[in-house]
Amino acid sequence: MALAAGAVALLAAGLIVKAPTLATAAPQGCGYGTGGPHASVLCWIDMSGFNPTLAESAAGQRLTIDLGSGTALSFTVKVSAGEDGLRPIAADALPTYSTAVLGNGYYRNVPGKPALYTALGSATGAVTKVSLSNISATRNGVPITSNYSFVMADAETTEQGEGFVWASSSNLKLLAEAIPAGWSQACDLTGIGTKTITCDSPSTATNRPGAMLVYADSPGEISSTFKTSSTTSRQAVAFAVMVSSVDAQATVASRHAPTDSFSVSASSANISYGQKATGSTNTAQTGAQPVLTDNSGSSITFRVDMDAGSPSTWSDYRVAWACNNAAKPSETVSVTTAPDGRSVTTTVKASDEIRCSAAITSRIATLTLQQSVTPPVATAVGQTESYAFDVTNTGDETLTNLSIVQGPFTGSGKVSAAICPSTPLLPGASARCTANYTVTRADMASSPIRNTATARAVPATMSDPYVLSNESTATFEVVVPGLELVKNYVVVNDTNGNGINDAGDVIKWTFDVTNSGNISLNNIAITDELLEGLGIAVSCAATPLAAGATVTCGSGHYTITAADVLTGQIRNVATATGQVPDGTPGSPANPTSVPAEATTSIEATPVPGLAMVKNFVVVSDANANGINDPGDVVKWTFDVTNTGNTPLNTISITDDLLDSLGLSTSCAAGPLAAGGSMTCESGEYTITAADVLAGEIYNVATATGQVPAGTPGNPANPVSASSAVTIPVEATPAPALELVKDYVVVDDTNGNGIIDPGDVVKWTFEVTNTGNTSLNDVTIGDDLLDELGIPVTCAATSLVAGAATICESGDYTITAADVLAGEILNVATATGQVPAGTPGNPANPISGSSEVAIPVQATPVPGLTLVKNYVVVDDANNNGINDPGDVIKWTFEVTNSGNVTLNGVGVIDDLLAEMGVGVSCDPAPLAAGSSVTCDSEEYTLTGADVKAGAIHNVASATGQVPAGTPGNPANPTSAFAEVTAPIEATPVPGIELEKNYVVVNDANTNGINDAGDVIKWTFKVLNSGNTTLNDVAITDELLDGLGVDVTCDTAPLAAGASTVCESGDYTITDADVQLGKIRNVATATGQVPAGTPGSPANPTSESAEVTVSLNPLNAALDMVKTAHPSGNAKKVKLDDTIDYSFKLTNVGSARLTGVSVKDPLLEKAGIAVICPATELAPGASVTCRSEKGYRVTAKDVANGKVLNRATGHATPPPLLDPIAPAASEATVKTAQADTVALSSTLAVTGAGTPLLLTMGGLAMVMLGVIAMRTRRRVR
């Protein structure tokens, strides 16, 4: 249903909800009116079932309202008395009054009794309260958890002195001002957006007042308090609920199966808003269903389902949703579609009329196929024909698993399986599948070849297993020319009649050509390169050769030659060709047969022959030296070859030397084929010393063979030519060397006749070749000399057998290391190189080892070293440092660092000698390498040592060389050794504190310390000891109790240094001022660093205190009251309004709380005085104002003035005396009859003199009152 123009704007603002329009409402239901803002969405609650007796009881009356379609609203209605008593209330129809908006100007024809109307009363200020509590909503008995909006409206008119107080457990908002044309403002509203709204009669009303509509979202309780001004004053209230609606629809555009049926529904989390089935029809609709919600909205899901028994599945259908808001046609409804597409969810807000329709369409799966084949004519067996299958998806369903189903095929073979794309085939898309076929010879008889096929695919989502396309065919022809050739030869003349092919015989060749294709061929011809080279022609019949027919072609004659005998055969290859007739389909190429060949064997005349090669083999190289020498074993070999063209039997060897040595030869027993070879061998022979003397073994041999009996021509047995071989014989080489080693003193540098450091020596090596072979590169191997880098040089490096040479080393200087070893011992060997090619490759000879030892002695060298230290004998105060009173002594560790014993070892220390401190050493001789410790006498540290900071001294050690020591060396003195004994003072920690305070902020800049000022304390800490202090801290019990922190520098505080610690800021309080001062005491502490000698106690300073003096508090309040007549008139008349302001000032020094104003006149009129602040600092002010204007009464006019007195109040801090109220008054003159003389001035502040009214003026006022009271009718 459409909304009125005024409602559309409010709907867009999201302030109201929409329900389906109901034509009528049953008793205790709700109904809609005609006209007015939001009339189509406001369902006015029928209170016909209202029972005053039950409603006025403690429990109240429970009512249930039927909103239609199973939706119900329940609440408890209670009526309670106001401060002036209870007026009866009854349910009434609209309109309640002829000038009321509800039922007249707007919301006409509302069914039932939606108004609760007060009866006439006996009191002028009667106030009655109607409340609806424990509000709940259900649909078909299921609680509705979504929100909803309650509306309250003035169902009568709000005139002078009348009004409402609307309250709710949730905030109230203005829904609309129902003011038809020609009507006035309904009332003055205050509190919009809070939980209480006051509706007072309008301050300016020229016509009939309109009505105010307010609403609350999901309240637990709402109430309306009536305010009436006289016994004839009446008021009425009407309640409404805002209702939205949903409507689910389904349309079946096409069916996959005729009996498929669908249901459409709308629901929330636990509420169903109806469900309808299409059955066999094409539509279903739930109709508009009421939904209770507010502007935050409720989530509603619209859904279609396939009914049980339907043969199809959802995969066979598509669902398309369309949603709109009938209440807001221009807006787009935002929905969330489920992944399966069968439901959508949207948020239904206040006043929405959501209609969602599902269009259900059957999916369509169809295919078309177009088959083609290329090339259209096959011209060769084995040719590949390519099939293309063009498939198009002509439906609206994606297809998968595309394949080709082969139908009848007239070819002799099989078409290959079609290859199709694996990707899905989308609606409207095409794809090509391909297959191949290889043409066979049998296809030549079946031409043309026809193939039939169908495309097959699987719908991606539908329940159908597959879909087939139309049947499509493709045809190709087979036109294949072909030839086959069989070639042979014929002996025309065997000239010698021996039955074999040999030189002089005459032959020719034949060619049988068959047409193996399926078309006739012209111009059959033979191609034979051998015959063409020999100049021999081939001729064929000139007539066409029909398919399947054969023709024989023949060559000219050929005589076999000796060259043919050498090759052993005549082999040639030929092909047959033919011409395809012009106009043959496919224009196939002229055929050529597969090459055919013929081989003619040729033989030769037998001719026997032998050849022989003699050699020897070393059977055993006894000493493995690679030469023939005594003890080696040899034998002779005879390689015999049949050089004739006939086989030979019984091959034998003739060798006179071997015969004389009694050595036999053996050959293989079998025949030796022509061209074949065999090896004959002799027995073994051991070389002797006599052979060495001869230098060689030389002999000669021949081979013979037997021609087999029956060999043509009976040729003689062949004998080979003679073959000789010489075996060289040598003696065995034996290389060898001898070495004699010695040394020579080159220079005795100190002439002492001994070998000691500095002397120079060298070594000699006599080398002799004791073998039977020459030697080259004679060298000396000496590991020690190699290590020392001393070369050895030989006079001769090549030695013949028996020769000798002398080798010498370079010079060597004796070292101290040699002295420590006591001798120089080294070992050497001599080596030589056997010349390359020496038989047997004997190893290079190495002589036996030869060694020599050179004795070495050391020169006497005296020496001393000294290590000095000190020892604490007594740490007098056990503090671990050297300080006055401690006893120490010095130690001297003396070591004999020379190589001779020393006598009389002693220490020289000038400082100790000066101090009178003696040093004693052991008098025994000190052996080389030994040590002795000398000690000083004890010494007590003094204050003077502390001032010096250390005792530093230097010493040396001395010793006496024994008489007769070689070389008479000087007595040794050690290098100086020094030691420093550090001296310190005894640690004594100490700390001092100086405390003060600083004014951080003089809040009122009065130069004194008073409440509100901000101060802080400072603490100057001095390290008065001689040790560093860590973690300097302040202890101040007062600041600890106030929660004020004190912060110090965390760095260590050196001896004599100072640091300043500061407290946090502190604001002076009234309690502090009351006491007159702030006094606190503090101490400073520090931590002695861990490890301080003696571990002295942590120091604490003496207490330091400071006092902050404060001025005492006083409390006083001043107030100035001011009247503000409407329009700033100097005089006011009946029903004019006067606003009041009250300026209150804290004129004392104490902070005041609970600031308020008491104004009896305003209180009686029910007007509150509102103060924006209730606390005042000294000197501060606040202006309080009347909640609304005071309306001038007839009594005020009769008095000639409005006199208003008020007092200001405030609470001082504890311990101060209460403040006397601050009084102030304001007077405003009232206008009288024209004959009444009025004062020319109007006092508006302070206490003024009341204006006097004349009797005439009083009479006029009274007449005005009478006129006013007669204007009000009894209702």
pLDDT in tens, 13-48: 332 233 333 323 334 788 989 998 888 888 999 999
**What's the chain's average pLDDT?**
86
606 located within any domain: no
Q: Please determine, for residue 778, whether its predicted confidence score (pLDDT) is greater than 60.
A: yes
User: pLDDT for 783-824, tens place per residue?
Assistant: 999 999 999 999 999 999 889 999 999 999 999 888 888 899
- 644 and 557 share one domain: no
The pLDDT value recorded for residue 615 is 93
- 848 and 787 share one domain: yes
User: pLDDT for 878-929, tens place per residue?
Assistant: 888 888 888 999 999 999 998 889 999 999 999 899 889 999 999 999 998 9
Residue 1222's pLDDT band, with cuts at 50, 70 and 90, is confident
Q: Please determine, for residue 191, whether its predicted confidence score (pLDDT) is greater than 60.
A: yes
Q: Which of 461, 478, 495 is the last residue of a domain?
A: 478
* Unique residue bearing structure tokens 């020579």: 744
324 located within any domain: no
- Count of domains in the chain? 9
Q: Please determine, for residue 306, whether its predicted confidence score (pLDDT) is greater than 90.
A: yes
Q: Please determine, for residue 1274, whether its predicted confidence score (pLDDT) is greater than 60.
A: no
- 456 and 540 share one domain: no
Gap between the Cα atoms of 131 and 78, Å rounded: 5
Residue 7's pLDDT band, with cuts at 50, 70 and 90, is very low
**Mean pLDDT, range 640-658, rounded to an integer:** 91
Contacts of 244 (CB under 8 A, 6+ apart): 17, 18, 19, 41, 290, 291, 292, 293, 348, 349, 350, 351, 352, 353, 354
The pLDDT value recorded for residue 1243 is 32
Gap between the Cα atoms of 1197 and 1257, Å rounded: 9
1143 located within any domain: yes
Contact by Cβ (8 Å): 466, 456: yes
What 3 state SS string does 804-853 have? EEEEEECCEECCHHHHHHCEEEEEEEEEEECCCCCCCCCCCCECCCEEEE
CATH at 629:
2.60.40
- 381 and 399 share one domain: yes
User: pLDDT for 976-1011, tens place per residue?
Assistant: 999 998 988 888 899 999 999 999 998 888 888 888
Q: Which of 601, 636, 661 is the last residue of a domain?
A: 601
User: pLDDT for 530-556, tens place per residue?
Assistant: 999 999 999 998 889 998 899 999 999
**Mean pLDDT, range 651-678, rounded to an integer:** 90
Phi, psi for 987 (deg, rounded to 5): -65, 135
- 724 and 756 share one domain: no
User: pLDDT for 397-425, tens place per residue?
Assistant: 899 999 999 999 999 999 999 999 999 99
- 386 and 470 share one domain: yes
- 470 and 490 share one domain: no
The pLDDT value recorded for residue 700 is 92
**Mean pLDDT, range 319-339, rounded to an integer:** 92
User: pLDDT for 100-137, tens place per residue?
Assistant: 889 988 999 999 999 999 887 655 556 788 999 999 88
Residue 145's pLDDT band, with cuts at 50, 70 and 90, is low
Longest CA–CA separation in the chain, Å: 199
The pLDDT value recorded for residue 3 is 31
126: three-class secondary structure by DSSP: coil
The pLDDT value recorded for residue 326 is 87
The pLDDT value recorded for residue 122 is 55
1210 located within any domain: yes
Sheet holding 449-459, edge to edge: 377-378, 467-478, 449-459, 399-409
Which range, of 430-434, 963-967, 1046-1050, averages the lowest pLDDT?
Answer: 963-967
Contact by Cβ (8 Å): 902, 924: no
Contact by Cβ (8 Å): 89, 127: no
User: pLDDT for 436-491, tens place per residue?
Assistant: 999 998 998 888 999 999 999 999 888 778 889 999 999 999 988 989 999 999 99
The pLDDT value recorded for residue 172 is 93
**Mean pLDDT, range 919-942, rounded to an integer:** 92
- 743 and 724 share one domain: no
CATH at 1138:
2.60.40.10
Residue 963's pLDDT band, with cuts at 50, 70 and 90, is confident
What 3 state SS string does 236-288 have? EEEEEEECEEEEEEEEECCCCCCCCCEEEEEECCCCEEEEEECCCCCEEECCC
Residue 344's pLDDT band, with cuts at 50, 70 and 90, is very high
User: pLDDT for 729-776, tens place per residue?
Assistant: 887 888 999 999 999 999 988 877 778 899 999 999 999 999 889 999
CATH at 499:
2.60.40.1530
Nearest CA among 620, 639, 781 for reference residue 685: 620
Residue 1246's pLDDT band, with cuts at 50, 70 and 90, is very low
- 997 and 908 share one domain: no
Q: Please determine, for residue 1253, whether its predicted confidence score (pLDDT) is greater than 60.
A: no
User: pLDDT for 77-91, tens place per residue?
Assistant: 999 876 666 778 999
C-alpha dihedral sign at 130, 135, 139, 145:
positive
317 located within any domain: no
- 39 and 139 share one domain: yes
The pLDDT value recorded for residue 20 is 36
Q: Which of 798, 828, 855 is the last residue of a domain?
A: 855
Q: Please determine, for residue 364, whether its predicted confidence score (pLDDT) is greater than 50.
A: yes
**Mean pLDDT, range 639-648, rounded to an integer:** 91
- 127 and 260 share one domain: no
Contact by Cβ (8 Å): 372, 387: yes
344 located within any domain: no
- 752 and 670 share one domain: no
Q: Supply the range of the domain harboring residue 279.
A: 248-288
The pLDDT value recorded for residue 1111 is 76
